[in-house]
Amino acid sequence: MLVRDFIEDSLYNPNYGYFSKKATIFDWDDKPLNFSAIRDSVEFDAVVTKRYAAYEKERQLWHTPTELFKPWYGEAVAQCLVSEYLLKYFPYEDFIIYEIGAGNGSLASNILDFLQRHYPAVYERTRYTIIEISGNLVQKQKQKLQASHPGVKVVHKSIFHWDVREPAPCYFLAMEVIDNFAHDVIRYDLDNLQPYQGYVTIDSNGDFDTIYTKLDDPLITSFLELREKLDHPFPISRLFRSMPSLRRLYRHLPFSANLSKEEYIPTRLLSLLRTLRNHFPRHRLLLSDFASLSETIPGVNAPVVQTRVQNTMVACETLLVHQGAFDIFFPTNFERLRDMYEHVLSQPPHSQTSSDPSDPFVPSRSTPLAPSVHSLSLGSNFFYSGSHMPLNRRAPRDGVSSATGLSVGERMSSVFKHSEFLETYADLSRTVLRNGENPMLDFYKNVKFLF
């Protein structure tokens, strides 16, 4: 099977997948931690370690900022979303939030509790939908949320199988999720620089191996074409690409490889961006995840492959491990993600005659705010020529007008460091330790936000 299918099977298979059967998300009790009573970051680490010890040693356990800094981290996310909603849509539109991979349901709980206390008028208009692939987590989320927040709906489905169109303005949350999105592996023929796609094979003894075939997968092809269009860096140096004689010289060296080193490409991330464009045409995305990782396996943009043994995380050096027993997670280049995201959103949904079967068709419909069913595209540049359209705005959507009657474009997404986002939206006084350190700012420095 393709490497992305092997990764998805390892992580999400309902019978033996890592997240289906092995993984446990670290969960504080409902009472918030009193950060002001903790001396410094060393004591904070000790408190977290003690909480960890309460779990069984062999369970696959990991923590998230949502759980460690509950509820203050979730309230920062809530403040971000509600500020944008109040500015743009209240009171004319409902406050619609979608979240994928909601874990224990803590982020949703923190957001809804915050809205209920501080913005009751907004809370009354809030609809919160969780899209969750894990059956175990679906039950946990329903138990945690639906009794206290009747506006919550939990849908047991993979986001990649989503088929319902949301025409209204909405906010889409993907927090600590895309690091576990499956990647494909490609290598380049050093003679002609043609890409080859990776497959995982298994022999009669149960041993895994990787083989490479000529590229024919539509999703991999689409990603490589998009990367070239966006002029993102190629994984082989420009000098090596431009000088065939240098490649031939290298190929004649003893023990030289005929293929470049492995490169892991985020094909499932591209699938998500297309789903957002096709099924959530008026969404605003808030996404957070790892921008860099240590102890990765060999390769370009390679993942960490690890498991928990006797209460200690052990990293591996290969992707070819027993399915379901290991976590596999990737770093994300947020600047390239932003470019991909903005480009995908700028494209119309593909028609039924599209030559790309990896990009499903969703019929377009006029939006609720449209003054008529006719396209306004002919007049969208009446006040802005192409050279004068603000660089930080998307092109206006057909049929959506401002209160002045002029077509407007959404502000483009920006990339923020973890600390920059929290300094903007969080109540940082709640997580300050006695010596003045703030672990909510100081932890997760390898995390970034896209908003």
- Do 138 and 209 lie in one domain? The reply is no
User: How many CB atoms sit inside 10 A of residue 332's CB?
Assistant: 23
Distance, in Å, from the CA atom of 215 to the CA atom of 331, rounded to the nearest integer, reads 24
Whether residue 9 is contained in a domain is answered as no
Structural domain of 85: 16-181+270-352+412-450
Tell me the pLDDT band of 378, cut-offs 50, 70 and 90: very low
| Residue 72 burial class via C-beta count within 10 angstroms: exposed 0-12, middle 13-18, buried 19 and up | buried
The pLDDT of residue 393 is: 76
The pLDDT of residue 363 is: 47
- Do 116 and 197 lie in one domain? The reply is no
Whether residue 435 is contained in a domain is answered as yes
Q: Say how many domains are in the chain.
A: 2
Element at 143 (helix H, strand E): helix 135-145
* pLDDT (average), residues 146-169: 93
- Do 167 and 246 lie in one domain? The reply is no
CA angle 37, 38, 44 (to 5 degrees): 150
The pLDDT of residue 418 is: 96
Whether residue 429 is contained in a domain is answered as yes
Residue where one domain finishes, among candidates 265, 287, 305: 265
- Do 43 and 171 lie in one domain? The reply is yes
**Side chain identity, residue 119:** Y
Whether residue 170 is contained in a domain is answered as yes
- Do 247 and 313 lie in one domain? The reply is no
The pair of three-digit structure tokens given for residue 207, joined into one six-digit string:
């041993």
Residue where one domain finishes, among candidates 224, 248, 265: 265
Listed in order, strand segments (DSSP E) in 91-175 are 95-100, 126-132, 152-156, 170-175
CATH number reported for the structural domain that contains residue 300 in this entry: 3.40.50.150
Whether residue 335 is contained in a domain is answered as yes
The pLDDT of residue 399 is: 47
Element at 199 (helix H, strand E): strand 195-202
- Do 327 and 302 lie in one domain? The reply is yes
Residue 422 contacts by C-beta under 8 Å, 6 or more apart in sequence? 73, 76, 428, 440, 441
Look over the chain and give the mean of its residue pLDDT values, rounded to a whole number.
85
Q: Looking at the chain, how many residues does it have? A: 451
- Do 21 and 72 lie in one domain? The reply is yes
Q: Which of 283, 350, 228, 272 is nearest to 100 (CA)?
A: 272
Tell me the pLDDT band of 370, cut-offs 50, 70 and 90: very low
Q: What is the pLDDT of residues 255-280, one digit of tens each?
A: 667 888 999 999 999 999 999 999 99
- Do 343 and 425 lie in one domain? The reply is yes
Whether residue 315 is contained in a domain is answered as yes
Residue where one domain finishes, among candidates 211, 231, 265: 265
Q: Which of 108, 118, 129, 424 is nearest to 283 (CA)?
A: 129
Q: What is the pLDDT of residues 311-364, one digit of tens each?
A: 678 899 999 999 988 999 999 999 999 999 999 999 887 643 345 666 655 444
Strands 263-265 and 152-156 turn out to be: unpaired
User: How many CB atoms sit inside 10 A of residue 218's CB?
Assistant: 13
Q: Is the dihedral of CA 417, 297, 198, 251 positive or negative?
A: positive
- Do 338 and 230 lie in one domain? The reply is no
- Do 227 and 285 lie in one domain? The reply is no
Q: What is the pLDDT of residues 357-369, one digit of tens each?
A: 666 554 444 444 4
The pLDDT of residue 389 is: 56
Q: What is the pLDDT of residues 393-432, one digit of tens each?
A: 777 665 454 444 444 567 789 999 999 999 999 999 999 9
Whether residue 393 is contained in a domain is answered as no
Answer yes or no: pTM beyond 0.75.
yes
* pLDDT (average), residues 144-156: 92
The pLDDT of residue 158 is: 93
* pLDDT (average), residues 57-81: 84
Q: What is the pLDDT of residues 193-214, one digit of tens each?
A: 899 999 999 999 989 999 999 9
Tell whether omega for the bond before 120 is within 30 degrees of 0, i.e. cis: no
Whether residue 278 is contained in a domain is answered as yes
- Do 139 and 120 lie in one domain? The reply is yes
- Do 227 and 348 lie in one domain? The reply is no
Q: What is the pLDDT of residues 23-65, one digit of tens each?
A: 667 666 657 788 999 999 999 888 887 776 666 554 555 678 9
